[in-house]
Homo-oligomer: A and B are copies of this chain.
Amino acid sequence: MFVLKAGGKKEYFNKKNIERSLAAIGLDAKIAKGLSDEVSLRFKKSVSSDEIFRFVISRLKSYGPEFLGRYNLRRAVMNLGPTGYPFERYVAKVLEEYGYRTKTNQIVQGHCVKHEIDVMAWKDKTHLIVECKYHNTHGARSDLKVALYVWSRFLDIKKKWEEDPGHKQAEFHGVWLMTNTRFTSEAVQYGECVGMLLTGWGYPREMSLEKMIHDKKLYPIDIFPDWNGKLNYHKLYESEISLLRDCLNFSAKEFSKKSGLKEVEAAIFQSEALRLIGN
């Protein structure tokens, strides 16, 4: 059986891939094996990775919202943009949980030109410019050209800072490229060589974007696929509710008003949120 990937590539179906991704979300190994067996029996000849995803999601429902949410994380982050919450604002939220002060969408004067910087981040003596590279398709990767232009941008800004006698010379200036997708190997090789921080899907293994999110339970509010059609994102973002945990600051009645859900639905949503966050 062939799997048609989002980027247009075709590869042999491998049960181990599904088992590995289900193990990563904490599903019992036996259940994971049973589920991957089901997939290999259900589909013949060729199947898109999207069909597999939807099938697995439908099966995961019986094991609880915490598995659903974790399995859906990559898509939930990707869908934030289309729901009206730009990726760079989400990145800023994540960084704040890791102790950074942040400002989004800043115009910064470089030595040669002005630059629009997605996120400026400060922590202790460290001052970072953060470029957030959002892609809305799965197969997309952040490639060498992105790493190259981000590095020139940083050099231009750094030069201006160093020219300015008022700027604190003791500060460490750095640049961080964050993406919701994977990097190409050339982008990683270049970024590591010049000394750029890189965070993307699955990279770096010990502190990838999904790990940063999981570790501090920073799931976005659109994490549960079944609730997507029901939540009023516009209202939610107006009330500064963009992370799942934000919904827990309100009574079901209050959250109902802010989300467009009926009160009983709001209560169910909150209970599912608690199961994902509490676990």
Contact = CB atoms under 8 A, between A and B. Distances in A.
Contacts of A150: 148
Give the interface size bracket for A toward B: 20 to 34
A186 interface: yes
A153 B150 CA distance: 12
Contact of A189 (B112, B145, B155): B112
Interface string A23-59: 0000000000000000000000000000000000000
B112 A193 contact: yes
Interface string A82-125: 00000000000000000000000000000111100000000000
A148 to B, nearest CB: 4
Contact of A111 (B111, B114, B146, B193): B193
A227 interface: no
A186 B115 CA distance: 10
Interface string A133-167: 00000000000111011111101100000000000
Contacts of A111: 193
B151 A194 contact: no
A172 interface: no
A190 interface: yes
A146 B114 CA distance: 15
A37 to B, nearest CB: 42
Given A112-B190, A113-B189, A148 B152 contact: yes
A181 to B, nearest CB: 18
B149 A113 contact: no
B113 A190 contact: yes
Nearest to A111: B193
Contact of A148 (B114, B144, B153, B194): B153
Nearest to A185: B113
A213 B194 CA distance: 39
Nearest to A146: B149
23 contacts: A111-B193, A112-B189, A112-B193, A113-B144, A113-B186, A113-B189, A113-B190, A113-B193, A114-B186, A145-B149, A146-B149, A148-B148, A148-B149, A148-B150, A148-B152, A148-B153, A148-B156, A149-B149, A151-B152, A152-B152, A152-B155, A156-B190, A156-B194
Across the A-B interface, the 10 shortest Cβ-Cβ residue pairs:
A112-B193, A148-B149, A148-B152, A149-B149, A152-B152, A113-B190, A112-B190, A145-B149, A151-B152, A113-B189
